[in-house]
């Protein structure tokens, strides 16, 4: 069974610090990885996608992928209180197969 | 930019009633996914459609059915509702790139409460 594992948290960081969120996946066939941000009672919002090994940066967000270690991470620089949310890691093996989500990590940025 | 539209946003039903949730995907997106999310849980995949044909099936109860219509909108039909069906129901859509897993965008969800 395909699984995506995340530390549920909560992860607390001070405002302005770097938040580091981690995710591992079980299916070596997974090719595409996504980070979604979800505020309580709201829908998941796509913030990053990554397909190849290495780093991908978009503004304050950096996604890192290591397929050999089956590990994905998300770094949030200069964390803001508005970043406080649950971050969901998701993996897909190919094409339009459905996302497999981790249980999410709750991030709290303290002002 | 157009997003995924879901209706209704909130729905209250009694046990054993039926409910129909609707989803209008992003224009030109060819794949629709339905997810169920209970309180404090991650989204659980129910069912998906590609080009109006069922493509994948997850943990969808037999009491539920879904379809995608010629205009690409999708409906999730839920019968014999149980208290445990109370959850947020999300629809997501994507455009199949043919290679890597495609980015899926979520609608605002329907909050179903069964009383």
Sheet containing A61-66: which strands, arranged edge to edge? A4-6, A19-25, A71-76, A61-66, A54-58
What is the band of B96 on the pLDDT scale with cuts at 50, 70, 90?
A: confident
Per the CB < 8 A criterion, the answer to whether A73 and A21 are in contact is yes
Interface check for B96 against chain A (CB to CB < 8 A): the answer is yes
Question: pLDDT tens digits for A86-110?
Answer: 999 999 987 778 889 999 999 999 9
pLDDT of residue A93: 83
Q: Is there a contact between A99 and B33 if contact means CB atoms under 8 Å apart? A: yes
User: Is residue B39 left, alpha or beta, with left meaning phi > 0 and alpha meaning psi from -120 to 50?
Assistant: beta
Q: Is there a contact between B45 and A100 if contact means CB atoms under 8 Å apart? A: yes
What's the angle, vertex CA B7, arms to CA A100 and CA A105, rounded to 5?
A: 30
B101 has pLDDT over 80: no
Residues of A in Cβ contact (< 8 Å) with B86: none
Residues of A in Cβ contact (< 8 Å) with B101: 31-32, 34, 51, 91-97, 99
Q: Which of A47-56, A92-101, B1-10, B79-88 has the lowest mean pLDDT?
A: A92-101
Counting one residue from A and one from B, how many pairs have CB atoms under 8 Å apart?
75
User: Looking at residue B84, what DSSP letter applies?
Assistant: G
Tell me the two tokens of residue B14. 């009694």
pLDDT of residue B99: 67
| Among chain A residues, CA nearest to B51 | A96
Residues of A in Cβ contact (< 8 Å) with B109: 42-43
Question: pLDDT tens digits for A61-87?
Answer: 999 999 999 999 999 999 999 999 999
Mean pLDDT of all residues belonging to chain B: 94
Question: pLDDT tens digits for B18-64?
Answer: 999 999 999 999 999 999 999 989 999 999 999 999 999 999 999 99
């Amino acid at each position: 069974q395909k699984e995506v594992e995340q530390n549920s948290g909560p992860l607390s960081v001070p405002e302005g610090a770097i938040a580091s969120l981690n995710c591992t996946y079980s299916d070596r066939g997974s090719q595409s990885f996504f980070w979604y941000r979800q505020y309580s009672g709201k829908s998941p919002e796509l913030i990053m996608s990554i397909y190849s090994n290495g780093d991908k940066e978009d503004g304050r967000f950096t996604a890192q992928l290591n397929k050999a270690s089956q590990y994905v991470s998300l770094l949030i620089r200069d964390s803001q209180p508005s970043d406080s949310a649950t971050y969901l890691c998701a993996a897909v093996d190919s094409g339009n197969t459905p996302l497999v989500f981790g249980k999410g990590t709750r991030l709290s940025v303290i002002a | 930019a157009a997003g995924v539209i879901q209706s209704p946003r909130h729905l209250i039903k009694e046990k054993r009633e039926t409910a129909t949730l609707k989803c209008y995907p992003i224009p030109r997106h060819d794949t629709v996914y339905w997810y169920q999310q209970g309180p404090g849980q991650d989204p659980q995949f129910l069912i998906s459609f590609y080009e109006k044909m069922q493509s994948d099936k997850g943990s969808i109860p037999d009491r539920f059915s879904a379809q995608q219509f010629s205009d690409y909108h999708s409906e999730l039909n839920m019968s014999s509702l149980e208290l445990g069906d109370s959850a947020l129901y999300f629809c997501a859509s994507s455009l199949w790139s043919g290679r890597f897993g495609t980015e899926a965008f979520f609608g605002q969800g329907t909050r179903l409460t069964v009383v």
